[in-house]
């Protein structure tokens, strides 16, 4: 079990503002499971257009947050500065259960279904205040150099 702060997260993944959707890794078992937090604030750029009178986080960005968290299944604590070069290839059976709004704190859990050298199958879920907001199976592929 380990945790990573935002600086350590940014050393590992390439996403940056406004597309970085992981604030803290709170549990980490590389290759098995990772749990993270995304704090949703009214300052998020997407709220200006989605929707001005009733802001909700787009479902695609919730899935993106789950994907970013999932890449930490490949994290190696012995080489913490190595970039995680896996990319989302497939989103399978995504389901959305309730809106995510400013002020919500999303807890994201990603569990490895099958991990290989160049791909991974992951089950991910997002929860706000003990209520599931999204779940999906995600498939990742390693970027070819």
pLDDT digits (tens, 9 = 90+) for 10-62: 999 999 999 999 999 999 999 999 999 999 999 999 999 999 899 999 999 99
The answer, yes or no, to whether residue 84 has pLDDT greater than 80, is no
Whether 93 has a pLDDT exceeding 70, the answer reads yes
Residue 58 and residue 143: Cα distance in Å, rounded? 26
Question: What was the pLDDT predicted at 99?
Answer: 98
* Residues 26, 3 contacting (CB under 8 angstroms): yes
Half-sphere exposure of 99 (CA within 13 A, CB side): 11
Is 86 in contact with 94 (CB distance < 8 Å)? no
Q: Which of 15, 33, 50, 142 is catalytic?
A: 50
What average pLDDT score do residues 127-141 get? 97
Q: What is the predicted pLDDT for the residue at 40? A: 98
Q: What is the pLDDT of residue 74?
A: 87
Instruction: Give pTM, 2 decimals.
Output: 0.94
pLDDT in the model for residue 145: 65
Q: Answer whether 122's CB lies under 8 Å from 71's CB.
A: no
If you average pLDDT over every residue of the chain, what do you get? 93
Assign 2 a pLDDT band (cuts: 50, 70, 90): low
Distance of alpha carbon 38 from alpha carbon 108, whole angstroms: 8
Residue 28, pLDDT score:
95
Active site residue 50: yes
CATH number, span 6-142: 3.10.129.10
Provide the pLDDT for residue 29: 94
Query: Between residues 64 and 85, which one has the greater pLDDT?
Result: 64
Q: Rounded distance, CA 15 to CA 67, Å?
A: 11
- The CA–CA distances, whole Å, from 126 to 26, 56, 96 equal 14, 15, 9
Give pLDDT, residue 79. Answer: 82
d(CA 131, CA 133): 6
């Amino acid at each position: 079990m380990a945790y990573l702060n935002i600086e350590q997260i940014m050393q590992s993944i390439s996403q940056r503002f406004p597309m970085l959707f992981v604030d803290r890794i709170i549990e980490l078992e590389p290759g098995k499971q990772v749990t993270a937090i995304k704090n949703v604030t009214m300052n998020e750029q997407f709220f200006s257009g989605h929707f001005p009178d009733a802001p909700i986080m787009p479902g695609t960005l919730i899935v993106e947050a789950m994907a970013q968290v999932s890449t930490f299944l490949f994290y190696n604590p012995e080489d913490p500065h190595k970039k995680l070069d896996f990319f989302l290839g497939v989103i399978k059976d995504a389901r959305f259960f309730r809106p995510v709004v400013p002020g919500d704190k999303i807890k994201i859990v990603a569990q490895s279904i099958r991990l290989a050298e160049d791909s991974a199958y992951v089950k991910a879920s997002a929860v706000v205040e003990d209520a599931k907001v999204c779940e999906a199976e995600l498939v990742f592929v390693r970027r070819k150099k």
